[in-house]
Every structure is written in structure tokens, then in C-alpha cells.
Structure 1
Amino acid sequence: MIPGADEYDVDIAIPDSEVQRLLSVMPEDVDAAPELSYCRNVFVPLTTACRYTCTYCTYYDPPGQATLMTPEEIRDTCRAGAAAGCTEALFTFGDDPDDRYTELYDQLAELGHESIHEYLREACEIALSEGLLPHANPGDQTREQMATVADLNASMGVMLETTADVQAHGGPRAKSPGQRLATIRTAGELGVPFTTGILVGIGEDWRDRAESILAIAAMHERYDHVQEVIVQPVVENERWRGGSPDLATMRRATAMARAGLPDDVSVQVPPNLAPARELVDCGIDDLGGVSPVTDDHINPDYAWPALEELEAVADAAGVPLRERLPVYERFVDEGWCPSAIERAIDAEGAAGRRFRAVLERGENPTTAVSSD
């Protein structure tokens, strides 16, 4: 039984035969993808407040130290991203802050908002006005919270991480796999193209990895809404000294993801955290979002690769590299996008032309995507 599944009314049956099938998968059992994609984005760390205190995470700040970006800072960041040719505003922040963050709620009130999701809505409006498509990753969300912002997002996301009960999530405010799956389900019910993934090396075992992949596949088969699954290694940082998974582990986990997911779900590895060149033959077809403007605020010690490095990964594999939007093309073609996103893509200005060029050509620009 997945921890928290009953509490959040998550009904997923994972046959043991499917778990055993995935446990037998090795890199040589999957095919390499015919192409690789990436998205050009800008990180917008709306707040560093988080109700959780995961032992591997450097992103959150404790109460009294957590920050909240101002509307002006959001606009400046988005404007710089659009000027650099980005298409995605990636809104990151810790899961819905709890009542310990009194100063944060005072700041929200000064800005005219009662909740972080209300403020996220304003932030998405700013991003659209500056020529970027919002992709918000606000962690666990209720249906009401997600509905507050879904109509202004090209896609959304939350990392499942694992279906296991791991010590890295321990403490009085531990993450619940059942709640994570409920958030993925909510996205399906609301028709939101969704990104999720597994985090490798936080104390889960191989069976946990297989079950996590199959749980995501089950949600997608029910709602057809998962656009990509990230296979992300935990990495060393100032809070995590538990080591990172080795190459053999990442190769096997990536191959398992490819074998366990439907063909229309992309498998991604983050190129600043994982050895992408050594994983191409394990079934990945996407290198995620990279930024020419901002750091990876979730993993600030790990710089984005330049576009030339992504091209080198594709060249070494003998496949083309193409740019994509934060919402995958099939969701655009099949009418999943809310009207605000459709209007942005169809707009006559420079941003709309940029979005359509990515959809129509998928050409990779020649400028670098590293951040200084």
C-alpha cells in the first residue's frame, strides 16, 4: 500500500507482475529515442517558504528567512527571459507554506493577497504580459488551489519523487506519496498537461522505483495528461551528504522509466544534474528546461550547460536536437491549452511569433543557454 493513499482516496492498483517486469529491465532492453528536445526557460523562485523540511533540499528557508519576490522582480526576471529568447516562466516555490511563516503572510497581505496561490495567479499574468508561457510547480495542491491558477498555465508539475516512506522525508511535516499522487490526479481531472518525476537516491529501493514509475503510468492511463517524467538523481549539497546514485543506477532507473511509461510520455534527465550523454541510449528523449538568464534555484551549485553542450549530447547520439515549448506539442494540437495560453501562442507580437516558430520548426537557436 502506498503511504497516504487511503487518506487522499488514491485508488491505484499496481500488479506485482508489472513490478517484476520493470525490475528485470536493463538499458539494453530499451531503444534510444530518435531525437532530443529541450525548453528554454527562466526560473522565477516566487518564494523559498515551504511546509516541508526534506533533508536533501537547499531551496527552502526557515520562517523568518524565507523570501517572496515582488511583482517588480517577477516582471524584471520575465522580461530578461523573453529578451533572451525564452518561452517558459518556471515558477518554483516550496509547498504551500504553513502557519509558521507569519512574515510571509504579512507580505502577501501587503500585496493584496490572502494566499500564495492568489499571488501565483498574479505572477502568471505578469509572465504572459511579458511574453512567456507560465509553468508553475507549486508542490502539493488541493483542487481549489490548482483551479486558481490552471487557466493561466501552459503546463504544471510536481515531482512524485517516490511512493516509498523514506527517512529523507521524515519529521512532523513529512511529504506524503498519497498526497503527491492526489495532486497528479487533480491535474488530470482539471485537464492540465503535467510534468512529474522520480528522485533517485533518497533511500528508496528498486521496487520503490518500479512502483513509482507504474503509479505515474496508471495516472496517465486514466487521464492522458502526463507529458514528461523526470528521472533525477539526488545530488550533494550543503544539506545532503548522503551521496548521489552512480552511473549504473541512473542507467537502470532511466531504462525502467522508459519501459514502464506509455510511449507518448517523454522521459527526461536534467543535464546539469545527470550524465545525459551516458543516458541517451537508455531511452531519454528530453533534456528539460535550461536557462540563459537564471540559475537553477533548486540546485544552485549545479550550473546549466550551454546549448553547445546539449548539441554535443545529441551529436554524440547521432540524433537531432530541437527546442520545444513548456507544453508539449500534442497538447497544443489536441486543444488542451486554456484560452489564455492559446491567445498567447496565436498573438501577432514577437512572443507569439516566437512560440509558433518553436512549434512549427523546433529549431535550436545558436546562442548559449548557460548562466553566468
Structure 2
Amino acid sequence: MIPGIDEYDVDVSVEEAAIESLLDVGPADVEPAPELSFARNVFVPLTTACRYTCTYCTYFDPPGEASLLSPEEVRGILQTGVDAGCTEALFTFGDDPDDRYTAIHDQLAEWGHRSIHEYLREVCEIALDEGILPHSNPGDQTYEQMQTVADVNASMGVMLETTADVDVHAGSRRKTPGQRLNTIANAGKLSVPFTTGVLVGIGEDWRDRAESLLAIRELHDRYDHIQEVIVQPVAENERWQDGTPDRDTMRRVVAMARHALPEEVSVQVPPNLADARELVDCGIDDLGGVSPITDDHINPDYAWPALNELETVADHAGVPLRERLPVYERFLPAELRSSGFEGRVAEGDDWLSGRIVDALAEQSVAGERYRAVLAGD
């Protein structure tokens, strides 16, 4: 049984035979993608507070040192992103930061908010007002927390990381795979286009990697909501000196991901953490959200590549590079899809709220920018 899953109302059970079959997959068993995509984003680290203290993570600051961006600071960052042509506002913060950090809780209360999710809703609305689409990654979320912000996000995400019980998640407030799977399932129940992924090299074994990918596949089969899966190597930093996965490990995990997931789900590697040129023949088709103006605040030691570096990766693979929105085209209403769209349309309820559809369709500079990305201009 996946650790922690019995504590949540989520049913994920991966068959042993499926795991064994996936363990036989390697780069020779998958085909390269016909194109590569990326999103142009601005990174907004809403707060550096987090209830967890994972030993590989440099994002969190201890109580007393963690900061919280004000609405004015957020608006300034977003305006810079809009000026740089970004279409995605990537909002991040640690899991339930107002639970562990008294100062963060008190600041939110001073601004009139009972929780960090209420504040997230405010800044997502600021993003929409400024003409940029929110994509929020606020860690584990209950159904009610996600429901608070779902309608003001074009898409959302959380890394599963692994289904294994690994020592790097140790501590009095231990992160469990059951919590993460519950968050991914909540996104499906709320019809939120969703990004997730696996973190490679944090103590999991090959069986754990196969199980993690198949668990994601199982939830996608149920809800049809996963838009992309990130295969991310753990990166050395001031808190993590236990190495990073080698080239052959990454090639095999990426191939397993591509083989395990349906065609409509993209497989992504972060180009600032892995040499994408070594992985393009293993099935990746996306290079993630890349910012022309802000750091990768999760991995500050690893700078985003410039656009011409992404073009070099695509040239190496011999495929075109295209820009995309933070929400994949298959989730858009028919009238907003590009005339050349040939992918499978997402099934089920309407995926985007009226607020997001209006932002995409409005006759404004922002709307024109979104449609230009869809048209490949």
C-alpha cells in the first residue's frame, strides 16, 4: 500500500504486473516527440514559508525569516512579466505556511485574510487584471482549499515526487505520498487542468519510480485532467549534497514516463536542471515554464536557459519549438483552440471558469497575446 493513502479518500492501487512491465522499458522502446514546447512565465514566490522541512529543498526559510510578498510587490512583479511578454504567472508557496508560521498568519489576518488560499485568490485576481494567466503550485491542498482558487487559475500543479516513504521527507510534519495523491485527485474532482511529476534521486528505487508514474496514470484515467508530467532530477544545493541522477538514470526514467502515460499527457524535463539534449530521443515534448526575467526560486542555483538555448535543444532534436499557454490547448473551449489543433480534446465538464475563458477571449492586448501564442505567431 502507498504510504499515507489510507488517511485520505483517494483510491489508488497499482498492480504489481504493471510495475514489472514498466521496469522493462528503456529509451529504445519510445519514439521522439515531433515538437517541443515551453511556456513563458514570471515566477512569483508568494512566501518562503512551508510546514515541511525536506532535506533537499532550499525554498523554505525558518520561522522568523520567511517573507510574504505584499499585493503591491506582487503587482510589480506581474507587470514586469507582462512587459516581457509572459503569459503565465507561476505562484508558489510552501504547504500550509500559515499553519506553522505565526508571523505569516498574523500578516494575512492584518490584510483581511483567514488563510493563505484566500490571499492566493486575491493575487490571482491581480494577475488576471494585469493580463497574465495564473498557474498556482501551493503544495498539498484539501478539496476546499483548491475550490477557493480553482476558478481564478488557468491550471494548477503539485509534484507527486514519489509514492515511496523516503527519509528526506522525515520530520515532525512528514510529507506523505497519500497527501500528494489526494491533491491530484482533488484537482480531477474540480476539473482543474493539472501538472504533476516525479522527483528523481531522493531515495526512491526503480520500483518506486514505476509505481509513481502508474499512480499518476491511474488518476488521469479516472479524471482526464493531467496535462503534463515533469521528470525532475534532485539538484545539489546548500542543503543537499547527496548527488544528482546520472544521464542513464534520467534517460530511463523519462522513457518510462513516456511509455506509461497516454499520448495527450506531455512529458517535461526542466532544462535548467537536466541536459534536455540528452533526453529528447526518450520522449520529452515539453521544456516547462521558463522565465525571461525571474529566477527559479525553487532551484536558485540553476538559472533558466535563454530562449535561444531552448531553440538549440529543438535544433539538436531536429524538431520545431513552439510557445504554449500555461493551460494546454486540449482543455480550451472549441472556439478558442487554434485552427490547426489536432490533439485529443479533454473529456468531461467544462475545464475553465468563465473568468479564465473571458481573459482568453477578451479584445485586449492580453487576449491578443494569448491567441498569438495559440496561433504560433
Shorter-chain-normalised TM-score: which range? Answer: over 0.9
- C-alpha separation in 2, matches of 1:22 and 1:275: 24
In the alignment, what sits opposite 2:359?
A: 344
In the alignment, what sits opposite 1:168?
A: 168
What letter is aligned with 2:265? V
Structure 1 residue 9 displacement after superposition: 2.7
In the alignment, what sits opposite 1:82?
A: 82
- C-alpha separation in 2, matches of 1:217 and 1:262: 8
- C-alpha separation in 1, matches of 2:114 and 2:176: 25
- C-alpha separation in 1, matches of 2:190 and 2:182: 12
The answer for unaligned runs of 5 or more in structure 2 is: 334-344
In the alignment, what sits opposite 1:155?
A: 155
In the alignment, what sits opposite 1:272?
A: 272
What letter is aligned with 2:9? D
Deviates more, 1:164-173 or 1:325-334: 325-334
The answer for unaligned runs of 5 or more in structure 1 is: 364-372
- C-alpha separation in 1, matches of 2:99 and 2:252: 41
Equivalent residues in 2 for 1:133-152, closer than 5 Å: 133-152=133-152
What letter is aligned with 1:336? W
- C-alpha separation in 2, matches of 1:219 and 1:99: 28
In the alignment, what sits opposite 2:115?
A: 115
Q: What is the TM-score normalised by the length of structure 2? A: 0.95
What letter is aligned with 1:337? L
In the alignment, what sits opposite 1:356?
A: 371
Q: CA RMSD in A?
A: 0.8
Structure 1 residue 98 displacement after superposition: 5.1
SS across alignment from 1:356? helix
SS across alignment from 1:267? strand
SS across alignment from 2:232? strand
Partners of 2:127 and 2:133 within 8 A in 1: yes
- C-alpha separation in 2, matches of 1:343 and 1:100: 37
In the alignment, what sits opposite 1:367?
A: none
- C-alpha separation in 2, matches of 1:57 and 1:223: 30
Structure 1 residue 10 displacement after superposition: 2.2
Q: What is the TM-score normalised by the length of structure 1? A: 0.96
- C-alpha separation in 2, matches of 1:10 and 1:130: 37
In the alignment, what sits opposite 1:228?
A: 228
Structure 1 residue 99 displacement after superposition: 3.6
| Structure 1 residues 311-335: Cα deviation after superposition (integer angstroms, max 9, x where no partner) | 0100110000000000000001454
Equivalent residues in 2 for 1:147-296, closer than 5 Å: 147-296=147-296
- C-alpha separation in 1, matches of 2:87 and 2:60: 26
| Structure 1 residues 182-233: Cα deviation after superposition (integer angstroms, max 9, x where no partner) | 0000000000000000000000000000000000000000000000000000
Which portions of structure 1, spanning 4 or more consecutive aligned residues, are displaced by more than 4 angstroms? Answer: none
- C-alpha separation in 2, matches of 1:118 and 1:307: 35
Judged with a 3 Å threshold, the aligned counterparts in structure 2 of structure 1 residues 191 and 99 are, in CA distance, closer, same or farther, namely: closer
SS across alignment from 1:229? strand
- C-alpha separation in 1, matches of 2:130 and 2:274: 32
What letter is aligned with 1:169? H
Partners of 2:291 and 2:304 within 8 A in 1: yes
| Structure 1 residues 318-367: Cα deviation after superposition (integer angstroms, max 9, x where no partner) | 00000000000000145421111101001111000000111122x4xxxx
Partners of 2:194 and 2:225 within 8 A in 1: yes
SS across alignment from 1:6? helix
- C-alpha separation in 2, matches of 1:299 and 1:314: 23
What letter is aligned with 1:96? D
What letter is aligned with 1:352? G
| Structure 1 residues 5-27: Cα deviation after superposition (integer angstroms, max 9, x where no partner) | 11113211211111011100011
Number of aligned residue pairs:
362
